[in-house]
Amino acid sequence: MKFRFWGVRGSIPSPGPHTVRHGGNTTCIEVRSDAGLLLVLDAGTGIFPLGQELMRRRAADGRPVDANIFITHSHWDHIHGLPLFTPLFAQDSRVCLHGARDEATGQGIEHVLKSQLRHSYFPVAEDALGATLSYRTLAAGEAYALGDVLVSNVLMNHPVTNFGYRVACGGQSLFFTGDHEPFVNPCPPGAVGREAAQREIERRERAIEAAMAGVDALVVDCSYTVEEYPSRQGWGHGTYDAAIALALRVGARALYCTHHEPTRSDDDLEAVFAEVLARWAGRLDTPAGPLRVALAWEGLEVDLDAPAATAP
């Protein structure tokens, strides 16, 4: 199984001269199974260059695009590239959108694309798209086989429903959190309900860590430093340090830090990351060997048979 990052920024695209090394597109990951099945994790602006590349491959080999897109959650930076996913306009394409039910309206995952294609926001209606479209609304904790892949999900901690996805194929596995913030008990010490809230937090944490256990690659929202986090608590995002601690607890082989803060230049991003690695120096050993920790960048492709990452 292989995967490639097409977008690694969070919140808003940040193109420009200061983000050329790591890229300015928002979240999108291409996954290829051993049998060649295409899965796409999230549809930020990174899905546009992915779509262009898929159409180039189609022109070269004559094989129509058949894509399964898994949406972690419906915040803009994870879906706003979807209407411009070029294969949607090709008559021979097949695209299936997977994800959670909308809590506010009760609609299935189809609400993501149908809402964006309203005339007020986009000039092309759904019935004018060329591709064959289908939708699969997922229940929390659901697992099902898709070709040679088993996809399962777990509910993460974010202001809206956010599914973290585990993709397993041929004895290898990848887990992507989407957006996730470490749990904090909302009840102060001594308050009524604090113990019950803590039990629920621990239940949720056990479920998340069980879903991540032993993965070959763990891709985690690492928006903030530990110094930045207190002023952003409750926004639904995590820190580099929390991600490393999580990867060590679940026995991941490699950690890929993504959802980069959009105001950080490449230089700033690399400086922050170097400080984090220095702080964790000597503490990354696991029974399976040292945890590999890398910054994700647009174009980084990982083969899970040999998942070492190189700098952009």
Contact criterion met (CB below 8 Å) for 251 and 287: yes
As a whole number of angstroms, the distance between CA 231 and CA 297 comes to 26
Strands ordered across the beta sheet of 143-146: 143-146, 149-155, 163-169, 172-176, 217-221, 254-258, 292-295
Fold of the domain built from segment(s) 2-303: Metallo-beta-lactamase; Chain A (3.60.15)
Measured in residues, the chain has a length of 312
As a whole number of angstroms, the distance between CA 284 and CA 274 comes to 14
Q: Within a 10 A sphere around the Cβ of 258, how many other Cβ atoms?
A: 26
As a whole number of angstroms, the distance between CA 113 and CA 110 comes to 6
Query: Residue 188 has what DSSP assignment?
Result: P
pLDDT in tens, 9-59: 999 999 999 999 999 999 999 999 999 999 999 999 999 999 999 999 999
> Does the CA dihedral 234-236-240-241 come out positive or negative?
positive
Q: Could you state, in order of their start, the residue ranges of all structural domains in the chain?
A: 2-303
Query: Residue 232 has what DSSP assignment?
Result: G
Query: For 228-248, what is the mean pLDDT?
Result: 97
pLDDT in tens, 120-164: 999 999 999 999 999 999 999 999 999 999 999 999 999 999 999
- What is the predicted pLDDT for the residue at 311? 58
- What is the model's pTM? 0.96
In the predicted model, is pLDDT for residue 309 greater than 70? no
Q: Show the beta-strand stretches assigned E in the chain.
A: 2-7, 28-32, 38-41, 66-70, 94-99, 132-137, 143-146, 149-155, 163-169, 172-176, 217-221, 254-258, 285-286, 289-290, 292-295, 301-303
Residue 64, judged by CB atoms within 10 A of its CB (0-12, 13-18, 19+), counts as middle
Q: State the Cα angle at 139 between 137 and 144, rounded to 5°.
A: 85
For 147, the token pair is 């070709």
For 259, the token pair is 């959802």
Query: For 82-102, what is the mean pLDDT?
Result: 97
3-state class (DSSP) for residue 10: coil
- Residue 224, Cα to own-chain centre: how many angstroms? 16
Give residue 307's pLDDT band: very low, low, confident or very high (50, 70, 90): low
As a whole number of angstroms, the distance between CA 7 and CA 25 comes to 4
Residues 6+ apart with CB under 8 A from 195: none
> Does the CA dihedral 124-125-127-132 come out positive or negative?
positive
